Structure 1
């Protein structure tokens, strides 16, 4: 993993692409954020438990995501991102399958946050040794259960 905070991982899972140019500067204290990753590492959630994400529709740019975060000086910052969510039938089908896979893992005792993270890893083309291990464990449990039990 890249060492990014969980809020940042969630944002990455959204597959949003920042439109704002970096480096970005806080107008209050002058702190400079060199990149999108730097911005998320060095800022804080506006409020605990709130993602700070707001979906908006721009007539020229299409679907967008506004990301509100607080600079360490307390000033609220905004970054505009373009949504890359695939709203086609195939995209909706992939999201349904993802949700089904997530539910399956949860039913077999895997923690939701961890399962989601590993599924996102595989969805982005990476290998997940953890999912392979879980699969082996779940398959073994299923084989040892007798039919009708």
Structure 2
């Protein structure tokens, strides 16, 4: 899927999968598969709808299964706004700043930092940590 809107949504919401079509039984194991193997509803041009749920704005994605059944998934912002979450974001920004000071482009620095947080591995991050601690 090359649509940045759907890619942005899918990056947040794989925890709502697997999703199963109640009509044909097709199972979608990830949001990427869900968006790639379904299509926008033919009845309307809008496959995305914004609404409010418990005081929070959510996006409802309507897609047609290969069998023709309309499926819907709700995507919301899972950002942790607690004090602990805010502290994590502040630390993330500090490390991001450190990486850009060491010569990485901001986009590359963010990508490498996110990779490191997901996997615990990144030669770029590990090298930056060595440089910072050897000063």
Taking structure 1 as the reference length, the TM-score comes to 0.50
Give the corresponding residue for 2:96: 102
For 1:86, what is the secondary structure of its paired residue?
coil
| Structure showing greater relative contact order (alpha-carbon pairs closer than 8 Å, 6 or more residues apart) | 1
Q: Deviations over 1:64-110 (max 9, x none)?
A: 54276999xxxxx9742243321110100100111121122112210
Unaligned runs of 5+ in 2: 39-47, 65-70
Q: Contact 2:17 / 2:28 at 8 angstroms: preserved in 1?
A: no
Tell me how large the CA RMSD over aligned residues is.
4.4
Aligned residues: 116
Distance 1:70 1:34, change over 3 A: closer
Q: Does 1:66 align with 2:63?
A: no
Unaligned runs of 5+ in 1: 25-31, 44-52, 72-76, 144-149
Q: Contact 1:19 / 1:82 at 8 angstroms: preserved in 2?
A: no
Q: Does 1:38 align with 2:33?
A: yes
State the alpha-carbon separation in 1 of the partners of residues 3 and 102 from structure 2: 23
Distance 1:117 1:33, change over 3 A: farther
Give the corresponding residue for 2:121: 127
State the alpha-carbon separation in 1 of the partners of residues 49 and 111 from structure 2: 22
For 1:124, what is the secondary structure of its paired residue?
helix
Give the corresponding residue for 1:28: none
1:1-149 to structure 2, matched below 5 A, reads: 7=4, 8=7, 12=11, 15-17=12-14, 19=16, 22-23=19-20, 34-35=28-29, 36-40=31-35, 57-59=52-54, 63=56, 65-66=58-59, 79-136=73-130, 138-139=131-132, 143=135
State the alpha-carbon separation in 1 of the partners of residues 3 and 96 from structure 2: 18
